[in-house]
Each structure stands twice: as structure tokens, then as C-alpha cells.
Amino acid sequence: MKAQIASLTGSPLWGLSVEDVLAKWNQMGMEVIQDFRPDTPYGLGPRTVYMETPSDRKIIWIPSYGGVAGKDWLYDETDQKVFWILWKADVKVLIIGGTSGIADWRSTGSKVQPGDIVFPWSFRTNPHHRGLRGTEHEIAWPHRDLLLDEPFCSGLVQSLYDTALPYVQEGILHGIHRPEDVRVALIVPDGITYETTYDILKWNAINKMISEMQLGLPPVVTLHGDCVNPVLARLLGMHVAYYHMVANVAQGLPMESRIVDSLYPLYVDNFAKVAVPMEFSLMQNLPIPDGTLCSCITSVHTAPEVFAKSMTVGG
Ligand SMILES: [Zn+2]
């Protein structure tokens, strides 16, 4: 199984079962070559759908970031299994659609709101964003220095924007935000559920402070939800095309209703209506960057060989 493009989306499609999504793509001309759960060194992998677009492109879709219903992402080593599959398939571009809650401290201007689509600028590093255990990509050091300039491929943002804009113009989505408008950072909750009011107030205060320290730059806000390992994607030479649909206002911030009151209808109605055709279009048309116009490849530096000789050699 080889494919240059894969998608791990994700909660924008949670309003439909995997079968419903595949049936809709099939009506649009997508052909399923294989639908299976690959074996990986970390155990049985998640459902993996190998497909061909009408433009003869081979595509891999791993539904819902590789999540298995009822299983913990960490205990189940989901991240490792997913990236093993992508690595073995020589994937170069990784499409990830996520959803999240917004912590936007601003009282005026174009605040990010539920129903918006966002192309993130950065993310908070996480102790669980690690390399691929047991392979030469287990760690970057001492052979490489991996920097996280523009962790989400800057060369693909325009294509994402152009693909999403019609849904905003049609009114299915509310607003659209690029890094040049607002610097949005992704934060994965540290626990297994939403943050507390304290957590979000803390991030909101930090976001406001950073924005006031850098008045010449777009303001900083945070989205709280998924952020599939951008470190490992870069380590494996993949360009990440990430988009987020905003499902709710984050815990503890002023809101007119409960989180689930905006989240459920958006998931079931708006997001899936957009994500099904949008993913199809991205799979079919998203360009494969050559690495010269973004930081995804050039920000991985080869370190002096002597670094590796300064530690114990061998497994
Ligand atoms: Zn790139």
C-alpha cells in the first residue's frame, strides 16, 4: 500500500458513520481498493481505507485519527500505529481535520467563534508527541535537529482556504481564519476530557499577554481539542495540512449556552456537510509540495556526526 496523500480526519466527520462517509465518497467517484486493519509492531492497527480518486490518485484514510471506540489514545499507542502505517506507505502530505473549543480573549473585532473554520499557526508541544518507537525515527537527536518553524505546512494553507471558502460564502460555516489574520495555537487537553474553567482562564490570560507583547503581529488565541503529533510528521518528512472547525466556546468563558448545545448540532449538521466534499476535493486536488516553499523539510537539520559518538553506541 503506497500513497502520497493520507487523511486522518477526524471529528468534522463524526456526524456520519465510516460506512456513510465511504458511501458518499463512492457516489462522488472514489473507489475503495482495500478496507482493513493492518498489523503494526505496536499491535493491530486502526481501520485503514486505501482508495483511488477519479484523478487516479492513491489515498489512505484512517478515520478519526486512528481512534478505536472505547480505547485510550495513549494506552493503545494509537499515535505509533497510525504513523507506522503512514511511514510504510511513503505518505508525503497529511490532511487532518479537527474540531475544538475556542479561547479568544478579545472583546471586539473578528473573534473566532463556534461554526468557524481555522487554519492553525502553531501548537503547544506535548510530552506525548514522540518519535516512532523501535525505528530510526524514535528520536531526532543526536543525528538531526528538528525545529518547529511553521509546524503546519505554510505552502498548503492557500489551497485549504480556497477549498473551504465556498462553505463560508454559502453560510454552512460562519467565518474563516488564516495565520495572517489571527495566530491560533492548538492545545490538546492534558486529561481525558475538557479542561477546567481555571485551565482555560490561564490560557486566555497567556494569549492576551503574548498579543499585547507583540502588537505588530496578529493576535494569539488557542483552540482546545486535537493536535495529532506534528513532531513525528515532521520527523517522517510529511507536510501537515491541518484545519479545525470550531465546535464551542472553551470551558468557563462567557457563553450563551452549554458547550454541548453548540457542539452537537454543529457536528451532526454543519461540519459533516462540509467535511465530506471538502475532504474529497483535498484528496483529489491538494498539491504535493516539493519542500522549497515551506519549512516542513528544511527545518530538519543534519547534526555533526561527532554528536552521535559522544554517547553509548548500539541498541
Ligand atoms: Zn510543507
DSSP string, 260-278: HHHHHHIIIIIIHHHHHHH
223 CB-contact burial (10 Å; exposed 0-12 / middle 13-18 / buried 19+): buried
pLDDT score, position 254: 76
88 touches 76 (CB < 8 A): no
Distance 93 CA to ligand 1 centre (A): 8
Chain centroid to Cα 170, Å, comes to 24
pLDDT at 58: 98
This prediction's pTM: 0.96
Q: What is the pLDDT of residues 214-267, one digit of tens each?
A: 999 999 999 999 999 999 999 999 999 999 999 999 998 877 678 888 889 999
List the beta bridge partners of residue 103: 222
Ligand 1 ion: residues within 5 Å (CB): 153, 155, 239, 289, 294, 296
Residues 51 and 32: their CA atoms lie apart, in Å, by 4
What does the pLDDT average to over 165-185?
97
In order, the DSSP letters of 89-138 are TT--EEEEEEEEEEE---SSSS---TT-EE---EE---TT----TTSTTS
How many whole angstroms from 295 Cα to the centroid of ligand 1? 6
Domains of the chain as residue ranges with CATH = 5-309 (3.40.50.1580)
Cα 234 to averaged position of ligand 1 atoms, centre (Å) = 9
Q: Helix (H, G, I), strand (E, B), or coil: what is residue 289?
A: coil
Query: How much of the chain, in percent, has pLDDT values that exceed 90?
Result: 92
Cβ distance 160 to 97 under 8 Å?
A: no
